[in-house]
Structure 1
Amino acid sequence: MRHSMDSDVFRQTAHSPSYFELSRRLGEGARGLVDFCIPCNPYFPTPEMFADLARDLESVLKFYPSDAGAIAAQLASVLGMNPATMAMSNGSTELITWMDRLWVAESIAVPVPTFGRWTDQAMESGKRVDMFPLPENEGFQLDLGAYVKFIRSRGSRVAVLCNPNNPDGGYLPRREVVRFLDELSDLDLVVVDESFIDFVEVERNPSVAAEAAIRPNVVVLKSLGKNFGLHGVRFGYLVANPGLARRMAAALPKWNLNSVAEAVIFMFREHADDYQESLVKLSLDRYRMGSELSRVPDLEVFSSQANFLLVKLIGEVGGPELRDYLLVKHQVFVRECSDKLGLSGQFLRLVVRPSDDVERLVEGMRAFSESRWGIDRPTLVS
């Protein structure tokens, strides 16, 4: 493995470099790379599902997929939903882009920190973004009453709520979210981003998708790539009343989903139990990982209901320094948060992974804490 890397790779976009970009730069050393950066489900799809996909890969890649409506109808059937309330997309970011174009006329309220596209997309299109800061001293917990007052005081016409929130994993009970929707029934649109809702364990049936299907101004966003552990496939969907869902579907390209996404969705019914089992395993891993990280010196761990944990480095050491050390010395890739509004370089978002991978992460963090690199500091080429 090479022990140097061009540090510009982490400054090219507002997001982390892709696994493939890192692999090209790391060369052979990338074979052992453990990814704590991209929030993926490590237990799904199962090896059997991957084997089935590999067996059918030639036909999957060779032929056109069905149109988005047919694929959405299959997903709706599996989930027990009305297909008229759904619109599928090539990743949730595509939906965020089109929501901005279709429904955000002037202003949008967004708590920060949160998923960057909610602020970036609106700013890129010239909209006013009203940012509601989440207090670190309260674990970044969102006070919905205070948020509603903020929205009213700013005159925001669209409001966003991520539940659980990214990057801290904070979760709001369903009843509170429903009350939030009631309070803002006069807005142009209220978006509830539930990209990580399947990982919630403290409440059964935490989603408000059923509410969105019958309300005039509510959209719920879902991300199958995050839940299924298939970011490379790029698929997401929204749930809304039939009028809103139809308008979104009409704006999207007819063949905006690829054949791999179609294949996975048509496999899902048969493997629904495997998916539920993967969520149970991940929940146990989250608890164990949080316990292990809490023992690392000079590290604060925030509570989470998502498949990642937000941590803060206590002291003078910053996230970029630790990120580079872990990548070069231990082949561990983490997400540092200096580019996230509302956070700083002292924060890392760490994806929940199995115990063996966590042991490697903790070992690297302890080694970093003990040595602070000293004379063996790895070189990143500027």
Structure 2
Amino acid sequence: MAGSNVTQLFSASTAHSPSYFTLDRAGAGAAGGITDFCIPCNPYFPTPAMFDELGSRLRDILTYYPSGADTITAELCQVLGLNPQTVAMGNGSTELITWIDHLLVHESLAVPVPTFGRWTDQPMETGKRVDMLLLPEAHGFGLDPEAFVRFIRSRGSRAAVICNPNNPDGGFLPKQRVLALLDALRDLDLVVVDESFLEFADAEPEPSVAAEAVLRTNVIVLRSLGKNFGLHGVRFGYLVANPGLAGKIRAALPKWNLNSFAETVVFMLKAHRAEYARSIARSRRDREEMTWRLSRLPGLTVYPSQGNFVYVRLPQGADGIVLRDRLLSEHGVLVRDCANKVGSSSRFLRLVVRPQQDVDRLIGALEQVLYEPAQAAPEAAAWTPGPRRSAPEPALAAPPAHTGERSRHAPTAMLTRGYQETTSARDLGPVPPQGYTSGTAAVDRLVGGA
């Protein structure tokens, strides 16, 4: 494997990692395939039998035009129990974000960061002002809705977005707090609640605010299908809003914006609801076990998550970019470093929840690359599958101090890039810590309030 050529692909990418296909063509993980902890996808759905069915219909799927979006949307709404007049389906949630920006964001958009990059990049690309509230690391990157409202008022923002759960940290707001936020912002032009990862949340039985959104004149709820159904390549998602807002988006969408794969999958869902529910339950259990195992690695801070990914802070002195490159080139493990996420840095990784055997590979690779000597911590080595345990309460500020344990598991010299801690987690406030950069000067000025 040409490791240097593979890792150079990340330098050419700005807001996102190279695609799986780009890495595969470059020979990443050629010896044993790529174990993907980067793309947040349900690993248990579709089932093997569903893939077999899709394969048997491949010729027709590729040969014929799909039905119109109205037909596909009507079927999805039957499965989900939604009114088609309140729904617009898009070629992935990113297409819907694009049209929301073009049609409904007129002056400015407020968004907590770090978050999904298209919510900051898309409006900036169309010349809007993006007001970014930096989520404090000292509070586990949790969003304080009241502080967000004060921030919006101080900036005069006319639209706002929250992701629930948030990407990349998995932070979650209970439904009643989201509804209170919507009430407080009812005078804005638009409020979007991006629930792309909400299917993986188990903090409360019915966390979605989609039913309430249709009763409000300025609220859109965005939902993903590719992430939940394990089919990012199909590119489909939908939004829920009152008929006026939803109809405005539907009228702007291109004809045949949904492909035949999307249609085929949507019309298969009714017969496979039970398998889908089991896949989500397995992903939730995997998240608990993966969190438990990662929290055993010395110096690694693991933040509580309600998504199908876990946000971790690396031990002091370790650099996520160097770690990412070595994990991929030496172990075929693909991770998402967060150096290019506004409000984050190369001290953080987002690790997608995957089955136990894949986590074994991740943990082993981290132990070999991150620590010196390459030796597993006793707790991690002793872990074996068994009765479900509750994940320990993760640290929300800086990693704990290390004495003798620190010297035995210090980050290797190859994982540092001259990084120096410039501030403690408790010092993080509404401006970036000293030395923080997103790599884009205009973004840094916006985050810093300039």
Cα separation, 2, equivalents of 1:168 and 1:374:
27
Cα separation, 2, equivalents of 1:131 and 1:27:
35
Alignment of 1:190-205 (within 5 A): 190-205=191-206
Partner residue in 2 for 1:379:
none
Deviation per CA, 1:221-266, whole angstroms, max 9, x where unpaired?
0110011110000001100001111110000012000000100000
Partner residue in 1 for 2:432:
none
Partner residue in 2 for 1:262:
263
User: 1:322 aligns to what SS in structure 2?
Assistant: helix
Alignment of 1:221-240 (within 5 A): 221-240=222-241
Q: Alpha-carbon deviation of 1:101?
A: 0.5
Q: Is 2:366 aligned against 1:365? A: yes
Cα separation, 2, equivalents of 1:67 and 1:31:
41
User: 1:29 aligns to what SS in structure 2?
Assistant: coil
Report if aligned partners of 2:108, 2:129 keep a CA contact under 8 Å in 1.
Answer: yes
Q: Is 2:290 aligned against 1:274? A: no
Bigger relative contact order, structure 1 or 2, given CA contacts below 8 A and separation 6+?
1
Q: Alpha-carbon deviation of 1:195?
A: 0.2
Deviation per CA, 1:80-126, whole angstroms, max 9, x where unpaired?
11000000000101111111100111000000000010000011111
Alignment of 1:100-139 (within 5 A): 100-139=101-140
Deviation per CA, 1:30-83, whole angstroms, max 9, x where unpaired?
752100000000001111110000000100110000111110000000001100
User: 1:59 aligns to what SS in structure 2?
Assistant: helix
- Greater Cα shift, 301-310 or 29-38: 29-38
Deviation per CA, 1:262-303, whole angstroms, max 9, x where unpaired?
000000010011111011101110000001101112211110
Alignment size in residue pairs: 375
Report if aligned partners of 2:29, 2:331 keep a CA contact under 8 Å in 1.
Answer: no
Alignment of 1:162-181 (within 5 A): 162-181=163-182
Cα separation, 2, equivalents of 1:262 and 1:176:
35
Report if aligned partners of 2:6, 2:28 keep a CA contact under 8 Å in 1.
Answer: no
User: 2:132 aligns to what SS in structure 1?
Assistant: strand
Partner residue in 1 for 2:74:
73
TM-score normalised by structure 2 residue count: 0.82
Partner residue in 2 for 1:348:
349
Letter paired with 1:184: L
Alignment of 1:27-42 (within 5 A): 29=30, 32-42=33-43
Cα separation, 2, equivalents of 1:203 and 1:174:
8
Q: Alpha-carbon deviation of 1:189?
A: 0.4
Partner residue in 2 for 1:12:
12
Alpha-carbon RMSD: 1.3
Cα separation, 2, equivalents of 1:268 and 1:290:
30
Distance 1:28 1:198, change over 3 A: closer
Q: Alpha-carbon deviation of 1:11?
A: 2.4
Q: Alpha-carbon deviation of 1:202?
A: 1.2
Letter paired with 2:162: L
Partner residue in 2 for 1:242:
243
Partner residue in 1 for 2:385:
none
Distance 1:173 1:28, change over 3 A: closer
Partner residue in 2 for 1:187:
188
Cα separation, 2, equivalents of 1:339 and 1:151:
25
Cα separation, 2, equivalents of 1:207 and 1:6:
40
Q: Alpha-carbon deviation of 1:3?
A: 3.9
Gaps of 5+ in 2: 374-410, 415-450
Report if aligned partners of 1:174, 1:206 keep a CA contact under 8 Å in 2.
Answer: yes
Partner residue in 2 for 1:215:
216
User: 1:237 aligns to what SS in structure 2?
Assistant: strand
Bigger CA radius of gyration? 2
User: 2:372 aligns to what SS in structure 1?
Assistant: helix
4+ residue segments displaced more than 6 Å:
372-375
Distance 1:256 1:227, change over 3 A: same
Partner residue in 2 for 1:293:
294
TM-score normalised by structure 1 residue count: 0.96
Deviation per CA, 1:323-342, whole angstroms, max 9, x where unpaired?
11110111100000000011
Alignment of 1:132-151 (within 5 A): 132-151=133-152
Cα separation, 2, equivalents of 1:80 and 1:6:
45
Cα separation, 2, equivalents of 1:127 and 1:374:
42
Partner residue in 2 for 1:378:
none
Q: Alpha-carbon deviation of 1:26?
A: 1.1
State the identity as a percent.
Answer: 60
Report if aligned partners of 2:29, 2:333 keep a CA contact under 8 Å in 1.
Answer: no
Report if aligned partners of 1:212, 1:218 keep a CA contact under 8 Å in 2.
Answer: yes
Gaps of 5+ in 1: 376-382
Report if aligned partners of 2:7, 2:329 keep a CA contact under 8 Å in 1.
Answer: no
Q: Alpha-carbon deviation of 1:12?
A: 2.4
Cα separation, 2, equivalents of 1:112 and 1:28:
32
